[in-house]
A and B are shown apart, each in its own frame.
Chain A
Amino acid sequence: MSLRVDLYEGARIAVGSLRSNRMRTVLTTLGIGIGVATLLAIVGIIQGLNASFDEQLKSIGSTYLQVSKYPWGISGNWWEYRNRKKLTLELVDTIQRQSRYATAVAPTVWRMSDIAFLGEQVANVDVMGTTLAYQSIGGIQIARGRFLNEIDDASQKRVVVLGADVTDGLFRGIDPIGKTVLIDKRPYTVIGTLERKGRLLDENLDLTAYIPFKTHRADMGRWRDIQIAVAIADTTRIAAAEDELVGILRRARGTPPDKPDDFAINRTDKLMETYNKLTGALYGVAVGIGFITLLVGGIGIMNIMLVSVRERTREIGIRRALGARKRTIIAQFLMEAAAVSAFGGTLGTLVGLGAAKVVSEITPLAASVQPLTIVFGIGFSSLVGLIFGIWPAARAANLDPVEALRYE
């Protein structure tokens, strides 16, 4: 007798048995269904979070390198970083001249300030001083007017380009171009406004303003640490570009070969790594909980299969007497277990999808479930059924036919 017969007969008997024990089937199904639903909802939420973070990353522009005293992220010795030698404006020129990979280089400097217009005020705005080159590096999208240009910088003009939240906060329906706003009580003329960018992690990318680099130095203090943003044309060569940049900086700053770098090179693509590090453990725990739920469902299947084997001891004896081999009996019970859990898996998938949808509707989390996840959900639950069905099925197959026929 062939495997085909084993499987076909197994499936037929399994369906018949499930039908004749409807209530039990439904209850068993519920266990595995809840497991799959939990897992799917969690995976859906995680996938949604990742997708939205990806989207956010794109909003900060193309991948670029940032030279700074401080590395991004949470690790390291802040005091040591603080005592590093300051970066200088000359380095911007040096990089521009020496780098083969850099397509644009811009100095940046930050300060958090309040911006006011007539009676309105927006607090805690990141005011960045930079040059025209930053427009392409930072992926700046102008909504109205223009970005900073070389003349603004060279002549230290008091002009400003406002982020979307600042514009909205100060000018309700008024055309902001040409108006004068106060930053730290100094007047700046608005020359442009930016498109909305959204958020990156907990940072609001629209609560920003850009003024010429030299104006920033003059008005807000020359002692502030500057950073250098370097755009790379070919993002596949980003590692090579980073190495080159390290060499240029060490030579320019005269760092002895035996000393570590006294600067940090931050990569926007490394933000993803930081994000993953922050959230990875959390996801691990969440997925773990999902698996445990599924495990509980699997144990439920095993339990009900053991009951089923006991109930049908005589049937097993009859089938064995009439010529069923052990593997035929095993196939029969495995199919039954897999059928229950696949049914539960399908149910759970639907509930899980629904839960993910509800979460994305009522919370800011953008849960999304990919089609492959659905296939995975159903496939995985069948697998759980198979695994937890092995022991009961083996027990059924190993019954002594003589004993089984005598069983009352």
Chain B
Amino acid sequence: MSVIRVEGVTRDFVVGEETVRALRGVSFTVEKGEWVAIVGQSGSGKSTLMNVLGCLDTPTSGSYWLNGHDVARMGDDELARIRNQEIGFIFQTFQLLPRETALANVELPLVYRGVGRKERRERAREALEKVGLGHRMTHRPNELSGGQRQRVAIARALVAEPSLLLADEPTGNLDSATGEEIIRLFADLHAAGHTLVLVTHEPKLAARCPRAIRISDGTIVADGPGREVALGNLAEHARAHG
């Protein structure tokens, strides 16, 4: 069973009297254990696709099965449950609760799953140790560096053992050395068998992924090994500046 199966997904936004067609019929599948980059320039529709994949938004038409769940037709409460159980989010701006400790932030998905306090604490601690932050558990986000914050966010994504890790420009707010650390962490997670989807506009990052899907004007224009898709992107980039 595929982790992601998207078929003919469209997403229209009505802005005033105009209809913006952000996605114009997107189809692809992601198998368990794959590491896929979704690349595209801003305005290409990749953020919309990311929101649909993350069950934060529902498609206007088409179907989307996430780990066997027919997500496209779900109500708000069910979507919340799916987000909680099937998806681990990693955001560009980390999206940590500023007033809570690293540990409490990581516990949050388990709180909404109804896991008891003791087990919650135990699992959050394990997840933080897995991302190398065992010594920073009681720190608040503003006491942590950017890389550390992103590690907390990754721990939070891992803690509920979701079927899909969904990362949106995870290195966008980090310097290149720290970004590299995070990429290596992703590689480790991939090696450990996690399914990863990474949304980015950086060809360099896409080239590191075994597979990349390039999206432009709301449709898929390339789907193949990361390096090749990224190179095509590089060529386009060069043309634009040449």
Contacts and interface: CB of A to CB of B under 8 A. Distances in A.
A binds B: yes
A319 to B, nearest CB: 7
Interface string B32-65: 0000000000000000000100101100000000
B111 A401 contact: no
B81 interface: yes
B56 A402 contact: yes
Interface in B103-118: 108-109, 111-114
B77 interface: yes
A261 B97 CA distance: 81
B181 interface: no
B89 interface: yes
Given A318-B95, A320-B80, A402 B108 contact: no
A115 B54 CA distance: 98
A323 interface: yes
B91 interface: yes
B239 interface: no
Contacts of B80: 320, 323-326
Q: Classify the secondary structure of B's interface with A.
A: helix
Contacts of B91: 405
B40 to A, nearest CB: 17
A346 interface: no
A117 to B, nearest CB: 83
B153 to A, nearest CB: 10
Contact of B112 (A1, A326, A402, A405): A1
Interface string A287-317: 0000000000000000000000000001101
A21 to B, nearest CB: 11
Contacts of B83: 320-323
Contacts of A252: none
Size range of the chain B interface in the assembly: 20 to 34
B95 A9 contact: no
Contact of B111 (A9, A321, A326, A402): A9
Interface string A385-405: 000000000000000011001
Interface string A353-376: 000000000000000000000000
Nearest to A328: B112
A20 interface: yes
B76 A326 contact: yes
A314 B51 CA distance: 16
B95 A5 contact: no
Given A318-B97, A323-B84, 7 more contacts: A315-B97, A319-B108, A320-B56, A321-B83, A322-B109, A323-B112, A325-B76
8 contacts: A319-B108, A319-B112, A321-B95, A322-B83, A324-B112, A326-B80, A328-B112, A401-B56
Interface of A: 1-2, 5, 9, 16, 20, 314-315, 317-328, 401-402, 405
A-B interface, 10 closest residue pairs, ranked by CB to CB distance from nearest:
A323-B84, A323-B112, A325-B80, A1-B114, A401-B56, A322-B109, A318-B95, A402-B56, A325-B77, A323-B83
Interface of B: 51, 54, 56-57, 76-77, 80-81, 83-85, 89, 91, 95-97, 99, 108-109, 111-114, 156
